[in-house]
Structures are given as C-alpha cells and as structure tokens.
Amino acid sequence: MENIYDVVVIGSGPAGLSAGLYAARAKMKTLVLEKNKVGGQISTTNEVANYPGSIPNATGPSLVARMVEQVEEFGAERKKDNILEVDFSGKVKVVKGEKEEYHAKTVIIASGATPKLIGCPGEEELTGKGVSYCATCDADFFTDLEVFVVGGGDSAVEEAMYLTKFARKVTIVHRRDELRAAKSIQEKAFKNPKVEFLWNTTIKEIKGDGVVEAVVFENLVTGETTEYVADENDGTFGIFPFIGYDPLSAIYKGKVDMDRQGYIPTDDNMKTNVPGVFAAGDIRVKSLRQVVTAVADGAIAAVQAEKYIEHNFEE
C-alpha cells in the first residue's frame, strides 16, 4: 500500500510543533506540514514573557526555533506545502497539497487563525514594533505609555480594560458612535478614568521608523483627518487592533463540524466530530488563544491520536 503516516499535522505553529514533538516521541511516523513560515503568529512577537519556563529574553522566533529542534530530534518529518483539499471520509485520511498527496491514519488540524487587520499603510511594517494583536502578550511593554485599542466589541473593550493595568491612558477607537460590547463590559469601561473614546473614527495610517511614532485618524462622519504623534518623552505608543480573528479553516468546510465563525469545536481530548481527526490551537473553539494553551492542545491531540491508532489499526 502507499506510504501512510501515523500522524499528519497540518500547521507548524506552537500547536502543530507540539503535536509533532509528542507524536514523534511516541515513535509514530509523523509529518508536520507548513504552508510558509514556521511558527505561526508567535513568530512575529519580539518577546515572550508569559510562557512558563522559557529562557530569559525569549523571543517568538527563538522559542519556535527550539520547538523545531525538538521536533526534528525525535524524528518527525517536516515539509512545506500548501494544502488545497482534505478527504476525511475513509479510514485512511487524505491530505492533498500543491506538491504532494499525503495519507495518514490520523490528522491533527493546527492551521491556526489570523487577526483581522486594520488594512492601513504602516500596519504590517510596524507589527511587533508597537502594533500588537495580543494584549496579554505585550501589555507590559507599554507600561506608563499611551495605547490605542481599535474595535468596539467584547474583546476590544475587555482588552482595553486589561491594558489599563499597564498603560497610563487607553483610547478606544471605534468606527461607530456606540460600542457593540455587552452592557456590563461597557459600564466598566465608561467608569474607568484611564479610558477615553474616539467615536466614528478609523485609523488611516501608522507611521514610524523602527517603532510606532505617529498615527493618522479619520473621522468617518466629517472626513477630517488628524495626526497623533508620540509624546516626546515616550518616543512611542501602542496600537492594539481587536476587530476579530479569521480561523484558517476554509478547506475543512463540510469535512468537519464548525461553528458559524469557522472555528472547529472539539472535546477536551481535541477530538472533532470525525473519528481520527483532531484539532489543536487557535483554530479550535476556545476561550484563550496563547502559546501555552496551543502547545497543550497539540500534546493532547498527539496522545489521543496514538490511542486512536492502537484501537483502530492492527499491527
């Protein structure tokens, strides 16, 4: 029969690398597929201070590099391929890429999710240099500085409240004239003396040489633009867009159950509704999307994949 892997992991962020490590360490024939750059979202983070046990001054890339070393040390195979289609209908799962077609007894989906972008000039260039999509990860870097939070939903307002523990002032920038967040969350924000609001406003451009130094706002009612420049003593400030995430799950539509947003529900053992198919990391329905929860998901998924093979495939 054709070459069959025990485990094919789709995605090479922390969840996928953790799954690959645990699967390979269990002596399973393991393949980790990555589309482009290894590491997922964490690879754009300059410092990872909240990952338990990490080395001092750990960066996203350094943490990922060590994960890759561990995956390879235990014998997992890694390939770059853009996955176009999957077929989970048979006992042996089929994963079709641009370069090859892969067959596996189990599949772990760890494709992740990507933050929705503002879409303005300067955003991409200054991501990780003042523009951040994770308050839990990066709030500490903006202690006693000013920050702007973009969005008006639950996540935006909750993250703005979290940032008030660090920043001296937090301004919520919202394209409408009222928040969409739950009333209870809104009330807390309105009562917080550190929180201010820019209504009917969007960000037109982010400027800076190496770090965020200025931002151009546009009032959507009047069309007027204004530029905010960092305080001379600060030199920089933070911009935190919280306008949602897009799970990278389009190719799994109709293949596994999803919620309305495209996230994949699993049980506590990372099992999807399809036997032999697991999901781990940011693509799952979950309450906290962090490196620490992603690697836990990946480990659980790999252990459960091993148990599934033991019960469903004869030697």
Our answer to whether residue 134 is catalytic in this structure is: yes
Can you read off the two tokens belonging to residue 58?
């750990």
Catalytic one of 120, 137, 282, 297: 137
Please state, in angstroms and rounded to a whole number, the distance separating the CA atoms of residues 110 and 92: 19
Please state, in angstroms and rounded to a whole number, the distance separating the CA atoms of residues 13 and 74: 17
Angle at 290 between CA 285 and CA 292, to 5 degrees: 110
The answer to whether 78 and 34 are in contact (CB under 8 A) is: yes
Catalytic one of 6, 81, 120, 134: 134
| Alpha-carbon distances of 22 from 1, 27, 101, 284, 299, rounded to whole Å | 26, 9, 23, 19, 6
Catalytic one of 6, 81, 120, 138: 138
Our answer to whether residue 231 is catalytic in this structure is: no
Our answer to whether residue 140 is catalytic in this structure is: no
Please state, in angstroms and rounded to a whole number, the distance separating the CA atoms of residues 153 and 107: 34
DSSP at 265: P
Please give the positions annotated as active site: 134, 137-138
